[in-house]
Amino acid sequence: MLKKLVAANWKMYKVQIDVSDFFGKWNRLETPKEEIAFFPQDPLIPLAKSLLRPGEKVGGQNCSERKEGAFTGDTSPYLLKNVGCEYVLIGHSERRHVFGEKNEVMGPKLKNAMEAGLRPVYCVGEKLEEREAGKTIEVVFAQLEALNGLSATGYDIAYEPVWAIGTGKVAKPEDASLVHGKIKEWLEEKGLGEDARVLYGGSVKPDNATELLSSSGIDGLLVGGASLDPESFHKIATAV
C-alpha cells in the first residue's frame, strides 16, 4: 500500500511571490510523514518544483486529452511531465461543472496523462440534488466508467462531493467512508485501481482532517482553500 496522499489544490490562486512565501514558511515546518503533492496553476509549476523538499511532488490541475497540436489554450500532459510534474488532476468538479467538461472526455484524458508518464488523480462526486435523490453511488459509478480500459495500476481517485467543495459543508466521515468502500468494490470488480488510493476532498480543514484521515477507506485528502496557507495545510498533512 502506498503512503496516504495529502494534496494541495491551489486552484486559480497565488502568483510567484506567494509561492516563494508559501515554501519559505512550509520548508521550516517538519516534513510530514504522508506523501505531499502541490497542484499550482501551470506557469507556477517550475517555481514550485524548484522549492520542494525531497519526496514532495507537484502536479497539474488539468490536462489535454491530446498530445500536441493546434489546440490553443490547452496544456499537454507531456509538457506537465517535462516541467517536473508527477501528478495531474483529471475531472475536478470545477472542470466538469464550471467548464462543462463531459465524462466522455475523461477516459481519453486519463489515458493520455498516463501515456505521458503522469499519475492521474481522477476526481468524482455527486451534486447536492443527486445526493438528495439517493443517486450518489449511481453518479459516482457512472463517472468511474472513464477508467475502463486503463491499466490496473498507476492512478488515484478523489471522491469530492460537489456540495462540499468550497462550501464549508464537509461530508460526515461515515458517509465518505461508505462511498470510498463502494468505489473500492467497483475497482476490485473491474480489476482496476490495484494500487489506487481513494482521497476525500471537500471543505477539509485542520479541525476535521484527523477524523477524516483515520476513517476507514480514506487514503488521503485533496485540500482546496485550507491548503493555501502553509500552517493550515501542515496541520492537515500531519493530522494523523
State the catalytic residues.
Answer: 92, 160
225, 208 in Cβ contact below 8 A?
A: no
The CB-of-19 to ligand PGA minimum distance in angstroms stands at 18
Told to check if 55 binds ligand PGA by CB under 6 A, we report no
- CA separation for the pair 91, 89 (Å, rounded): 7
Nearest to ligand PGA of 78, 158 (CB atom): 158
Of the ranges 75-83, 143-151, 171-179, 221-229, which one interacts with ligand PGA (CB under 6 A)? Answer: 221-229
Instruction: Give how far the C-alpha of residue 123 lies from the chain's centroid of Cα atoms, to the nearest Å.
Output: 6
- The separation between CA 52 and the C-alpha centre of its own chain, rounded to angstroms, equals 18
Q: Following CA atoms 198, 201, 207, 208 in sequence, which dihedral angle do they give, to the nearest 10 degrees?
A: -50
104-163 residues in contact with ligand PGA (CB under 6 A) are: 160
Is-contact 200 176, C-beta < 8 A? yes
The binder of ligand PGA chosen from 61, 64, 203, 208 (CB under 6 A): 203
Verify binding: residue 220, ligand PGA, rule CB under 6 A.
Answer: no
- Residues facing residue 58 across a β-bridge: 38
C-beta of 196 vs 212, nearer to ligand PGA: 212
Closest CA to 3 of 195, 154, 187: 195
Place of cell 510567484: 16
Distance in Å, CB of 58 to ligand PGA, minimum: 16
Nearer to ligand PGA, 192 or 222 (CB): 222
Q: Is residue 59 involved in binding ligand PGA (CB under 6 A)?
A: no
Q: Does 223 bind ligand PGA (CB under 6 A)?
A: yes
Among 166, 174, 207, 214, binds ligand PGA (CB under 6 A): 166
- Count of residues engaged in binding ligand PGA, rule: CB under 6 A: 13
Instruction: Report if residue 40 touches ligand PGA, rule: CB under 6 A.
Output: no
Q: Where do we find the cell 445526493?
A: 131
Q: Hey, what's the cell of 116?
A: 505521458
Of residues 117, 113, 103, the one with CA closest to residue 75? 113
Residue whose entry in the numeric block shows the C-alpha cell 483515520: 214
Give the range of 112-120, 127-135, 195-203, 212-220 binding ligand PGA by CB under 6 A: 195-203
Which residues of this chain interact with ligand PGA, rule CB under 6 A? 9, 160, 165-166, 201-204, 222-226
